[in-house]
Amino acid sequence: MAKVFIGVGHGGPDPGAVAGTFRESDANLYISYGLGEELSKYGIEWKASRNTDEEDRLAEEIAECNAYAPDIAIEIHNNAGGGVGFEVYYQTNGYRSQSIKLAQCVEKRVKESGQKSRGLKTKITLGNTDYFGWLRECKCPAILTEGFFVDNAEDRSKYDTEEELRALGRVYAHGILDYFGVKWEDQEPVLYRVQVGAFADRNNAEKYKEQITDIGYPAYIVEVKDFAD
């Protein structure tokens, strides 16, 4: 069974980016709820760095991640600085190719959900290592996501309820399922029509409809004027 570690950015005394009463730390947590719940539906084992609004230091996240020994790890953040859209950072170390693949899978699903993307990115130190400790020190393929800009009212409005944030988490989960090659079901149901009778006489059609309805099945009469033999 595949294992995923979810790093939930900020928390407790560290709210992250803030806009009025909207706090990034809360948004990150709700996203993680949706992500974890969706992974569970498909048999993916996972663990999150926090499940409540508590202090969640980066060093502790990384240590917990490495102790869990996951197949992949994802760090959840949201942005600030007046921009628009999603972006994802990938590793440049020995996990580079897997990290890029994971980032591409998640970005693809985010774009399909309707959110703009600022692309796949890296940030490097003067020592030519990954700037983000999460990407530098996690001992597995890992990415760091920035879902939207908290300080941009238009961008934030897409995710300003708990359900919208959970839905974004489910989008991330679908990207992760794609990475693992796990098929997942679309949200929209598929309906299949079954024809149980055809009559040249309308009265016979009405009688059969009543019989079907009486035993608890919905039945409809559809007139067909052009049909093939």
- Indicate the SS3 state at residue 174: helix
* Domains of the chain and CATH, by start: 3-180 (3.40.630.40), 191-229 (no CATH)
Are 45 and 60 within 8 A, CB to CB? Answer: no
What is the pLDDT at residue 222? 62
- For 9, the token pair is 């950015």
What's the CA gap between 229 and 227, in Å, rounded? 7
Mean pLDDT of 202-208: 77
pLDDT band at 107 (very low <50, low <70, confident <90, very high): very high
Helix 24-41 vs helix 162-180: crossing angle, to nearest 10? 50
What is the pLDDT at residue 196? 66
Q: Which residue type occupies 159?
A: Y
Asked if residue 142 has pLDDT above 90, the reply is yes
pLDDT band at 219 (very low <50, low <70, confident <90, very high): low
What is the pTM assigned to this prediction? 0.81
- For 20, the token pair is 């009025």
Q: What is the mean pLDDT of the chain?
A: 90
What's the CA gap between 111 and 166, in Å, rounded? 16
Asked if residue 110 has pLDDT above 90, the reply is yes
Asked if residue 158 has pLDDT above 60, the reply is yes
- For 90, the token pair is 């990938």
What's the CA gap between 53 and 10, in Å, rounded? 9
Residues 73-98: pLDDT tens digits? 999 999 999 899 999 999 999 999 99
Residue 111 host element (H or E):
helix 96-112
Are 73 and 105 within 8 A, CB to CB? Answer: no
% of the chain exceeding 90 in pLDDT: 79
What is the pLDDT at residue 216? 55
